C-alpha cells in the first residue's frame, strides 16, 4: 500500500507513519510545513525510521499526488485552534475547507480515497442545547444519551459552530461527497503530541504540571470528553485504509464516523488535574470560550460494527503513559 499522510510530522500523522512502517510492506510519504512547535522533533523521529518526508505547504500537496500515486490519502493537515479561527476566519477557511477540496480533487483523479480527521465541532451549539446533569466533578447528559453518547445522525444544523467547526464541516462534506471517510474526532492524546492551550489539552496540562506552572481552566472544569489514545485511533485509521481499498469503496464510501474513547473513557478537567495531584483550589479559572461544550462523548458503535474496532487503552493507563512521555520529552 502506498500512503500519503498530510500533517505527517504532526501528532497523529507521526504516529500513523511509525505504525505503518512497523507493519511493513508500505510505501509512505509524509508532508508537513513544520509550522507547529514540536514538529521538528517528530521529523527527526520519522527520519530515524527512514520514512520519506517532503516539506510542503498545504497548497502544494495536490501537485504531489499524481507523482506519488498513493492508494490512500490520510489528510490530517489542518488549522486546529478554535481561538485562531475566531481571530483569523479566512485563513482558517483557506486551510481547512479550500485546502481539503484541492486535495480531494487531486486524489479523485487517481481514484485514491481520502481518510480525513474532522471534529466534534461540526455538531455546533446543538450539543449545548441538550439537557444536562451537574455532579461534583463533571457534567453529563440526561436522558437517553447518558452513558451512550452522540451518534453520527445527531444534527449538524446550527448557527454556532465557530469558524473552525464550519471549515472542518465543509472539508468533511467534500471528502464524503467524493467517496472518502470522515472521522469526527473527540479528544485524542498520546506520544509525539505537543498540546497548546486550545488544542491537545491533556498534553498541555501535563506540560504545565511538570513545569510547575499555573493551570488556567476556561469554564468550571466540569466539562467532560471521551479521550482516545493515539494507538487506538491509528488502529482504526489503518483498518479504514485497508477496508476502503481491498473491500471496495461502496460499503464505506462517503461515511462519517464519531471517533472517541466512548463513555467508559470520559474524564473532566477537574478529574484529570486531580489525577495528576492538582486540586480545584490550585487552579485558575476564566470565562468559557466560544462554543465550548460542557459535555461531549461519542457513540462509537458504528465504527465498532464496520471495522471490528474498539479502544483498547483505558484512559487511566493512557494518561499515565502520556504524563511519563511528556516528562521524558520536556525539551519539545
**pLDDT greater than 90 at residue 271:** yes
pLDDT tens for each residue of 278-305: 999 999 999 998 778 899 999 999 999 9
pLDDT of 228 reads 98
pLDDT of 141 reads 98
User: What is the mean pLDDT of the segment spanning 243-265?
Assistant: 88
Can you give the three-state secondary structure of 68-112, one letter per residue? Answer: HCCCEEEECCCCCCHHHHHHCHHHHHHHHHHHHHHHHHHHHHCCC
**pLDDT greater than 90 at residue 213:** yes
pLDDT of 199 reads 80
Report how far apart the first and last C-alpha atoms of the chain are (Å, whole number). Answer: 32
Catalytic residues: 164
Burial 301-311 (b: 16+ CB within 10 A, else e): ebbeebbebeb
Sort 284 into a burial class: Cβ within 10 Å, 0-12 / 13-18 / 19+.
Answer: exposed
Angstrom distance (rounded) from CA 107 to CA 83: 30
pLDDT of 210 reads 95
Between CA 51 and CA 223, with CA 75 as vertex, the angle to 5 degrees is: 110
Residues spanned by the domain of 48: 2-328
315 within 8 A of 265, measured Cβ to Cβ: yes
pLDDT of 264 reads 97
pLDDT band of residue 249 (cuts 50, 70, 90) is low
Mean pLDDT computed over every residue of the chain: 94
Chain centre to alpha carbon of residue 171: 14
pLDDT band of residue 248 (cuts 50, 70, 90) is low
Q: Which residue in the block uniquely carries the three cell numbers 481547512?
A: 96
pLDDT tens for each residue of 9-43: 999 999 999 999 999 988 999 999 999 888 999 99
pLDDT of 175 reads 98
pLDDT tens for each residue of 184-206: 999 999 999 988 877 889 999 99
> Which of these ranges, 121-125, 183-187, 229-233, has the smallest mean pLDDT?
121-125
pLDDT of 195 reads 85
Q: Treating both helix axes as pointing N-terminal to C-terminal, what angle do 201-211 and 315-328 enclose, rounded to 10 degrees?
A: 50
pLDDT of 224 reads 97
pLDDT of 327 reads 95
Residue 199's DSSP bridge partners are 196
**pLDDT greater than 80 at residue 75:** yes
User: What is the mean pLDDT of the segment spanning 237-254?
Assistant: 85
Q: Which residue in the block uniquely carries the three cell numbers 520519522?
A: 46
CATH value at residue 49: 3.40.50.720
pLDDT of 158 reads 72
> Which of these ranges, 83-87, 172-176, 265-269, has the smallest mean pLDDT?
83-87
271 within 8 A of 196, measured Cβ to Cβ: no
pTM of the model: 0.95
Q: Which residue in the block uniquely carries the three cell numbers 455538531?
A: 123
**pLDDT greater than 90 at residue 328:** yes
How many independent structural domains does the chain possess?
Answer: 1
**Percent of the residues in the chain that have a pLDDT greater than 70, as a whole number:** 99
Amino acid at each position: 500500500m502506498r500512503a500519503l499522510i498530510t500533517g505527517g510530522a504532526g501528532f497523529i500523522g507521526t504516529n500513523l507513519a511509525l505504525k505503518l512502517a512497523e507493519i511493513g510492506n508500505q510505501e509512505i510519504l509524509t508532508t508537513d510545513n513544520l509550522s507547529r512547535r514540536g514538529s521538528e522533533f517528530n521529523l527527526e523521529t520519522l527520519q530515524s525510521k527512514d520514512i520519506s518526508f517532503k516539506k510542503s505547504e498545504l497548497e502544494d500537496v495536490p501537485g504531489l499526488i499524481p507523482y506519488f500515486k498513493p492508494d490512500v490519502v490520510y489528510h490530517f493537515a489542518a488549522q486546529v485552534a478554535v481561538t485562531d479561527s475566531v481571530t483569523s476566519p479566512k485563513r482558517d477557511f483557506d486551510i481547512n475547507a479550500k485546502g481539503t477540496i484541492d486535495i480531494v480533487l487531486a486524489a479523485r483523479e487517481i481514484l485514491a480515497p481520502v481518510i480525513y480527521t474532522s471534529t466534534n465541532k461540526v455538531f455546533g451549539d446543538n450539543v449545548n442545547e441538550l439537557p444536562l446533569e451537574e455532579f461534583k466533578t463533571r457534567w453529563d447528559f440526561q436522558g437517553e444519551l447518558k452513558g451512550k453518547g452522540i451518534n453520527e445522525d445527531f444534527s449538524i444544523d446550527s448557527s454556532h459552530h465557530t469558524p473552525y467547526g464550519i471549515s472542518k464541516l465543509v472539508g468533511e462534506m467534500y471528502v464524503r461527497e467524493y467517496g472518502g471517510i470522515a472521522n469526527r474526532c473527540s479528544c485524542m492524546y498520546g506520544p509525539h503530541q505537543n498540546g497548546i492551550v486550545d488544542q491537545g489539552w491533556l498534553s498541555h496540562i501535563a506540560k504545565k504540571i511538570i513545569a510547575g506552572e499555573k493551570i488556567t481552566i476556561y469554564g468550571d472544569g466540569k466539562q467532560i470528553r471521551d479521550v482516545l489514545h493515539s494507538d487506538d485511533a491509528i488502529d482504526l485509521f489503518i483498518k479504514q485504509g485497508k477496508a476502503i481499498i481491498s473491500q471496495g469503496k461502496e460499503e464505506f464510501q462517503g461515511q462519517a464516523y464519531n471517533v472517541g474513547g466512548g463513555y467508559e473513557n470520559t474524564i473532566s478537567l477537574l478529574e484529570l488535574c486531580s489525577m495528576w495531584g492538582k486540586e480545584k483550589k490550585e487552579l485558575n479559572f476564566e470565562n468559557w470560550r466560544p462554543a465550548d461544550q460542557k459535555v461531549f462523548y461519542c457513540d462509537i458503535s458504528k465504527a465498532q460494527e464496520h471495522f471490528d474496532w474498539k479502544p483498547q487503552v483505558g484512559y487511566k493507563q493512557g494518561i499515565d503513559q502520556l504524563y511519563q512521555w511528556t516528562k521524558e520529552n520536556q525539551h519539545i
